[in-house]
A and B are shown apart, each in its own frame.
Chain A
């Protein structure tokens, strides 16, 4: 346990130092998020106060939906970039010869990716509340429950992207799927009830939908854990199924890459 914490500290330190020394990238990301917030604010004003999906104002609906969605995409991207960068620079092979088991290394790296993107999500929501006066009625316990289960799913998505990258050198395919296909099915921008029935059924099979919905219920409507039991149950089910499955897939892909000599292929 002590050793795992020390390794986590080393990984967090590496990523923090790299982020700090990438000041331009950090500033551009912050500016991009602010621009996005402003665009959503004016979009919700243009649509007017009559549109209240799920009984909440449209701007906070967008704020939470896009915040959670962006968190998922950015986390998967961060995960994927870490693997791609490691393959391109050759650190991948060296990391795989350290005493740290590969699965542990991946999970610890994912915690680091989450930490940065959680801060971004927090700042995004805080900026939405502070600058554009989005009304929040949060239930802290429910928020934590949704966040915890969403983290497990985001980790599984990141691991899946890393596995696809290691096996086929095309991890960006999952990212593309997330950013092109999943966004409109997840209910990030509008309620999934407005979709045709077949698409609404597909939307209910996507874990991201429950994360977006759960966070809205917890953050905007202040619903209790008990009231949110079906949503939390779905999130728990997805976490329990996806996390072991993707970890198994990753260890299989790493073994195959060691066998084929493709650890550093990109």
Chain B
């Protein structure tokens, strides 16, 4: 059974001019973030959302988490509709968002995780053990008792992932999870993600990193300007260069990096 289902989902952001728009320069308008998007993801699948900035990747993740609600169409998680059964959907979903400052700065990493674990109904007797586990998985065990106000961007990002994992969600949403991570932590994170998928967690990963997509993805969803350009599996032996070429061919964007690398002789 599909665990996450989008059916003809449309999401529009409307911009209202300021209440006292004396000079009349500010205009109202709307941005169509998703246009009749349909797809599904099954248990244990790692679905990679690729696409240029503004293509609707984050909007899709936020719709699953119920941070946003659809304007048309339906989003359902484990059979629960996000509009009608938001509370039940939230029990199934963990999200690590890209802008990772969303913690209480004067609490330590452990205290922040304890706080969110309590709100996520993680049983009290399991809380400490689960927190230790996720701190280890995100390489934060050494900084568990440091106030998060002293954290670097990468540490914030790792803590965001830890927070999403601590509730052991059936659906894990990751928005550019390795953007600020060093190489070793990234590699460790990839293996953690694959292990979670083996345990039947559905993972939706929005990224710009082709190596990441090739390393852990089962399927690609390629979006552009809110529309679905492609929905296809990633072959076991597919390289990041092949994914990259596919991306640029489908989106019609110019791969300037490839040209530069050829000119400098770094690739043939």
Chain B positions within 8 Å of A14 at CB level = 104, 107, 111, 115
The 3 A-B pairs at the shortest CB distance, nearest first, are namely: A10-B118, A90-B102, A98-B119
- A6 near B118 (CB under 8 angstroms)? yes
**Distance, CA A89 to CA B103, complexed state (A):** 7
Within 8 A of A (CB), among B110-132: 111, 114-116, 118-121, 124
Pick from B13, B97, B107: contact of A94, CB under 8 Å: B97
> Which bracket fits the contact residues of B?
35 or more
6 A–B pairs (Cβ distance < 8 Å), ordered by A:
A10-B118, A90-B101, A91-B103, A91-B104, A99-B121, A258-B66
| Chain B residue nearest in CB terms to A105 | B119
**Distance, CA A17 to CA B112, complexed state (A):** 11
- A10 near B119 (CB under 8 angstroms)? yes
- B120 near A6 (CB under 8 angstroms)? no
Which among A9, A99, A258 has the highest number of chain B CB atoms within 10 Å? A99
Pick from B71, B90, B105, B106: contact of A97, CB under 8 Å: B90
Chain A residues engaging chain B, CB cutoff 8 angstroms: 3, 6-7, 9-11, 13-14, 17-18, 21-22, 89-91, 93-101, 105, 255, 258-261, 263
Chain B positions within 8 Å of A98 at CB level = 90, 116, 119-120
Q: How far is the CB of A169 from chain B (nearest CB, A)?
A: 11
**Distance, CA A100 to CA B117, complexed state (A):** 11
Chain A positions within 8 Å of B147 at CB level = 21
Pick from B14, B95, B115, B118: contact of A260, CB under 8 Å: B14
- A9 near B118 (CB under 8 angstroms)? yes
**Distance, CA A105 to CA B116, complexed state (A):** 12
| Chain A residue nearest in CB terms to B11 | A261
**Distance, CA A4 to CA B90, complexed state (A):** 17
- A99 near B106 (CB under 8 angstroms)? no
- B118 near A89 (CB under 8 angstroms)? no
- B104 near A18 (CB under 8 angstroms)? yes
Chain B positions within 8 Å of A17 at CB level = 106-107, 111
Pick from B66, B106, B124: contact of A18, CB under 8 Å: B106
- A99 near B97 (CB under 8 angstroms)? no
**Distance, CA A198 to CA B106, complexed state (A):** 48
Q: If the complex has contacts A99-B87, A101-B87, A258-B66, are A90 and B119 also in contact, measured as CB distance less than 8 A?
A: no
**Distance, CA A14 to CA B163, complexed state (A):** 16
Q: If the complex has contacts A7-B118, A17-B111, A261-B13, are A93 and B97 also in contact, measured as CB distance less than 8 A?
A: yes
Q: How far is the CB of B163 from chain A (nearest CB, A)?
A: 7
- A93 near B67 (CB under 8 angstroms)? yes
| Chain A residue nearest in CB terms to B173 | A97
- A94 near B118 (CB under 8 angstroms)? no
Q: If the complex has contacts A6-B118, A90-B102, A91-B102, are A258 and B67 also in contact, measured as CB distance less than 8 A?
A: yes
